[in-house]
Structure 1
Amino acid sequence: MENRSRSGYGAVTKFLHWTMAVLVIWQFLKFFDRINDGEHWVGETLVSWHISIGTLALLLIVLRTCWTLTHRQQRPAHEQKMAFLVNAGHFLLYLSLFLLPVTGILRMVGGGYGVKAFGWQLIEKGDEVSWAASLGSLHSPFAWVLLILVTGHILMAVYHQFVKRDGAFARIV
C-alpha cells in the first residue's frame, strides 16, 4: 500500500505528516485569540474552528501512531548516534500531539460544556467535573510545549536541508 524505502517515506506517511502540520499551524492561530480578546479577523474566523480541528487532529494522531507502529521496519535509517535523538524527539512530538487535544476535551467536559465538533455533539453538556477540569488546565501549558517541539522540529529540518545537506528533508516531501 505504501511505496517507501529505507531512504524515504511513502505517500501515506507524507500525507499524515503534512496534514498534521497544517492542522497544528491552524491550531497555533489560537494564540491570536489572546490579542484584543480575539476581536480581529483571525479570532473571528479561524479560531472558532479550534475544537473541531483539535478533534480531527486527535483522530489523525491516533491513526498516525498506529501507522507508524505497524510500519517501523520501513522507516528511513538514521545515523546511529542520531537515532536516539530522532526517536526521542518524535516520541515527544507524538505524545504532545495526543495530550493536547485530550486535555482540551477534558477542559471542555470539566467546565460542563461538552464537546461539539463540525456541528456534531460528541459529548453532551453536563455538570462540571472537577478532576477533568484539573487535568484540562494542562491544555495551555501543553500548547507551549508543542510550540517549542514544533519549532525545534522545523529548525532541525532547516539544519538538515541547508547545513548538513543530507537529504533528510527530501524524505518527507
Structure 2
Amino acid sequence: MSSRWTDSPLRYGLVTRVLHWGMGALFAWQFTGMGVKLLLGRHPLTALLVGSHKPVGTLLMLAILLRGAWGLSQWRKRPPHPATLVGRLALAGHALLYALMFYVPTVALLREYGSGRGFAPWGIPLFPATGEKLEWLMAPANLSHGVIAWTLLAVVAGHVAMVALHHFFWRDKTLARMAGKL
C-alpha cells in the first residue's frame, strides 16, 4: 500500500484521516440532532435530525470498528506519544475516547435487538422482528446510552481543546499530522 495511505512516524495516512474526520462529522450530526431536540422539542428540524439518529449511529458503529481495526494495523507506524506525563495522558485520553465511542452505539444496538421490533437502517436488515422484548438487553442502553453519549461529547470537547493547546500554545505539528499538512 502506498505510503500516503498508511501512517508513518511523522504523520497520519489518508485512511486514518478520512476515518477520523468522517467520524467527527457523523458525531457532530448526532450531537447536533440531540441538541436541537433538547432546545426545540418537536419541530421539523428535530424530526429530520433525530429521524436519522439510529441509521447514522449504525454507520458510526461500522466506522468505529473499521477505525479500530485500521488503527491496530497501523499501531507501530503512527506518530508516537512522547514518553512524558502529557504523552501518557494523551494515550489514556485516546483510549477513553475509543472506549466511549464503542460503548455508546453497542448498547444502542443491543437495545434495538432487545426491542423485538427488528432493525433495518437504510433498508438493510440487521435484526429480524421477533416480537419478543428482552428487557435485560435493553436495560444497559436505557440506563446509560444518553448520559455516556454526553460524557463522550465532553471528552471530545477536551480532545479539541488539547488540539487547540498543541496548535496555538505549544505550536507543534499535532494538528498538521491529522490534517494532512505534513
* Deviation (angstroms), 1:8: 0.8
Q: TM-score, length-normalised on structure 2?
A: 0.88
> Matches of residues 20-169 of structure 1 in structure 2 within 5 Å?
20-31=23-34, 32-41=36-45, 43-81=46-84, 82-125=86-129, 126-137=131-142, 138-169=144-175
> Gaps (5+ residues) in structure 2?
none
Does the CA contact (< 8 Å) of 1:107 and 1:139 recur in 2? no
Q: Distance in 2 between matches of 1:165 and 1:38?
A: 44
* Deviation (angstroms), 1:78: 2.5
Label 1:21 to 1:136 Cα distance change in 2 as closer, same or farther (>3 A).
Answer: same
| Identity across matched positions, percent | 36
* Deviation (angstroms), 1:53: 0.7
Q: Distance in 2 between matches of 1:53 and 1:156?
A: 27
Does the CA contact (< 8 Å) of 1:114 and 1:124 recur in 2? yes
Tell me the alpha carbon deviations over residues 15-60 of structure 1, each in whole angstroms, 9 at most, x when there is no partner. 110111001101112322223433142x122221111111111011
* Deviation (angstroms), 1:87: 1.3
**Secondary structure of the structure 2 residue equivalent to 1:74:** coil
Cα RMSD of the aligned pairs, angstroms, is 1.5
Does the CA contact (< 8 Å) of 1:157 and 1:168 recur in 2? yes
Q: Distance in 2 between matches of 1:110 and 1:44?
A: 24
Q: Distance in 2 between matches of 1:53 and 1:154?
A: 22
> Gaps (5+ residues) in structure 1?
none
Does the CA contact (< 8 Å) of 2:81 and 2:91 recur in 1? no
* Counterpart amino acid of residue 151 in structure 2: V
Q: What is the aligned length?
A: 172
Q: Bigger CA drift: 62-71 or 78-87?
A: 78-87
* Counterpart amino acid of residue 160 in structure 1: H
**Secondary structure of the structure 2 residue equivalent to 1:96:** helix
Tell me the alpha carbon deviations over residues 45-76 of structure 1, each in whole angstroms, 9 at most, x when there is no partner. 22211111111110111111111111111110
Q: After TM superposition, what 4+ stretches of structure 1 lie above 6 angstroms from structure 2?
A: none
Whose strand proportion is higher, 1 or 2? 1
Q: TM-score, length-normalised on structure 1?
A: 0.92
